[in-house]
Structure 1
Amino acid sequence: MNLLHNDVITAFLRLPMTLRILFISIFIIATFGITITFIEPNKFPSFFDGIWWAIITTSTVGYGDYVPDTFLGKLTAILLIFIGVGFISTYFVALATTAVSKQNAFLEGKSTYKGDNHIVIIGWNERSKALIKSLILEHSKASITLIDASLEKNPMPDSIHFIHGNPNLDETLIMANIAGADKVMITSDQGKDELHADMNSILTLLAVKGLNPTVSCIVEILKTEQVSNAKRAGADQIMETNSLTSFVMHSSLSSQDTMITFLDLLNQFKEKKLEIVPLQDREFQKNIDYITLSSHLLKEGKLLLGVKREGHTFFNPTAAFPIKAGDKVIVIT
């Protein structure tokens, strides 16, 4: 019996402060409410009337519809006011404090993300900022978690969940629920030189894959020499930012008109959507060539750019290029 009693006390003490104060307040209200019905049964004909009086008294509302007349009844009311009002006030103060603490923890990146199938973006910079805005415009209910060690507060509290910490550490990734993430984007740290930025990105990739080997990871790499290391670490897709920038600059020097057209095409992607669609979802998947498939898609308002097959991409193949089951088509919608 003593062991059961100790277990109950231990379980009670482990409850959050707000719940403990609430249970104590309910116990006090019930005890005094029932007691007053025994002391003054004429004034308080039922237990409900007594409990109603106790609630009104401890909340300091004081309607006056039930008032004790006897000395013992008034003494009970005095004790209730001294004991009950203090606990009720403490409960609401603790409740407000807890709400404020949780809000501050959310803004400061100290609260754990508890959702699943979310997108984790590592690193706060202009690229990740633009990416988050694009994701929100595309899917207003997109679940996005940002991990960054340099920010002090959530930069977009209405749109994302923020985790403040080093993304190389397991405890930070666990707070972001990396095990339940759908995709991870690792951006390069602009505060470091290119080599150390790449090393930091690869180390973060290793930490992510260690906790969730199956999650799709997109990694930004600055130096071409580190691409092979990123692949060994398990990167599913690598963004060579410097190579892409050099290509654009070189093309601008070679043919300004061509590059302006290319950049205009990229800007169109902000309004239109580039999609890779599995062919098996389509009704005309058998005995069809590239030009026939292109005609079908044009009728749906989609421009066919190419075909993906077994890891290879074929852009604008010949008109007679055969389309096979299992192919994926690259279209602009």
Structure 2
Amino acid sequence: MEEYKRIFKQVTFSLLTIIMIFFIGIIGFMVLEGWDFFKAFYITAITLSTVGYGMPENISHATIIFDAILIFSGISVVLYLISSLTALFVEGDFKKIGGILRMMKRIENITNHYIVVGGGKTGKYIIDEFTKTKIPYIVIERDKEKINKLLEKNEYKDINYIIGDAKEEDILLKAKIYDAKGVLLTLPSDVDNLYISLTAKTLNPSLYIVSSATSSEEVRKLLYAGVDNVLLPPEITGKRMALMVSKPNVLSFIESTQMDFGETFGFAEIKIPENSWMVGKDFGELEISKTLDIIVMAIRRNGKARYNPKSNFKIKANDSLMVIGDQEDIERLRRFVIMAQV
């Protein structure tokens, strides 16, 4: 993106320089020869365009020298402009530039999004999940090559990204951190994740921050820095390997659900607002499974989950429905839940 901005600046500079030379030519001819504006304009035009109509007779030596300088200046700037435009066509690729402009427009309008810090292996999986579930996001990555590798693949051509260091406030502001819902830190350095979490929480205290960590010793530091949830990849990998040998069929079932039901199938948590019509109702009265093709696995209340809730379980405000089903049905349930009491 920075390369394209540089080329655009070159083109803009060239055009402004040509305009400036044009006006210098007009003023110069008016002063040296006493011509009126329109004649000076005409002579300047044929001089810079090098059409070869010829200069008027009996002009002064000073005018001849001025005209020569004007010709060489104009040719130099035009050649510079042509080289910049060639770079846009050959190096920049107008199609890619069009994609960047569309992305900048998306970022300008984005809100309630998540900021993914790091476009590496972990960041790629986050992008895949957010794209599938249609969760808005912006990736911050300082290594342009990692982004370029993603853009080479068709499925990542519409990702929202910013090239820069997330430790810098300006980069976080470009990612619209004040409008963001959360930050996901995937950098391999715990120190970097710690610093970014402190900066992000300072700018927007309401952010929900999730970070990875390389060791259990760093977990406490990240939590002190304002991180809401910390994941240890070695711990996750170890538990997964243990399940593969202790409960292989259960793990296989969990992993196969999305493949069996399709890409639109997934899990979701839907919070019940205080003015929802569901508040005060028994769970059985909701008849969610009859209305929508969704399974309510649990109801979360005060941090505790009530699995397979009974029909007489009373719904309260701020309860969360833990559901599994098609994304379209999940969105319908979200709208269904927020309907106010009559």
* TM-score normalised by L of structure 1: 0.65
Q: Spell out, residue by residue over 1:299-329, the C-alpha distance to the aligned partner (whole angstroms, 9 max, x if none).
A: 2333323333344443322221111233332
The alpha-carbon deviation at position 264 of structure 1 amounts to 1.4
Compute the displacement of 1:56 (Å).
4.9
Instruction: Show CA shifts across 1:89-141 (max 9, x none).
Output: 337627965996997xxxxxxxxx9957564333443221222234345549x
Question: What is the CA distance between 1:187 and its match in structure 2?
Answer: 1.7
Whether the 8 Å CA contact 1:59–1:85 is kept in 2: the answer is no
Q: Which of the numbers 131, 135, 148 marks the counterpart of 2:130?
A: 135
Contact 2:10 2:84 in 1 (8 A): no
8 A Cα contact 2:132 2:263, kept in partner: no
Does the C-alpha gap of structure 1 residues 130 and 152 become closer, same or farther in structure 2, counting only changes over 3 Å? closer
Alignment of 1:81-92 (within 5 A): 82-83=69-70, 85-87=72-74, 89-90=76-77
User: Structure 1 stretch 233-242 or stretch 155-164: which is displaced more?
Assistant: 155-164
Cα displacement (A) at 1:185: 1.2
Check if 1:187 corresponds to 2:186. Answer: yes
Q: Does 1:54 align with 2:41?
A: no
Q: Which amino acid aligns with 2:122?
A: R
The total of aligned residue pairs comes to 291
SS in 2 for 1:235: coil
SS in 1 for 2:241: helix
**Deviations for 1:25-60, whole angstroms, at most 9, x for unmatched residues?**
43442353467689697xx9x73x753653453144
Structure 2 CA distance for partners of 1:321 and 1:134, relative to 1, 3 Å: same
CA distances 1:170-226 after superposition (whole Å, capped 9, x unpaired): 43x53343773223211252xxxxxxx545533443343344433331111354454
User: Quick check: 1:17–1:94 contact (8 Å CA) kept in 2?
Assistant: yes
TM-score by length of 2: 0.63
Report the Cα offset of residue 261 of structure 1. Answer: 0.9
Q: CA deviation at 1:280?
A: 3.4
List aligned pairs for 1:311-326, cutoff 5 A: 311-326=303-318
Q: In structure 1, how many angstroms separate the alpha carbons of the residues matched to 2:205 and 2:75? A: 50
2:322 is aligned to: 330
CA contact (8 A) 1:307 1:313 kept: yes
Q: Secondary structure at the match of 1:248?
A: helix
Equivalence for 1:122:
117
Q: CA RMSD in A?
A: 4.6
1-side partners of 2:132 and 2:55: how far apart?
Answer: 63
Greater share of residues in helix: 2
What do the CA deviations read for 1:232-290 (whole angstroms, capped 9, x no partner)?
22112333433333333222222222221122135558432433333339963244222
Which of 171, 179, 182 aligns to 1:175? It is: 171
Gaps of 5+ in 1: 1-15, 104-112, 190-196
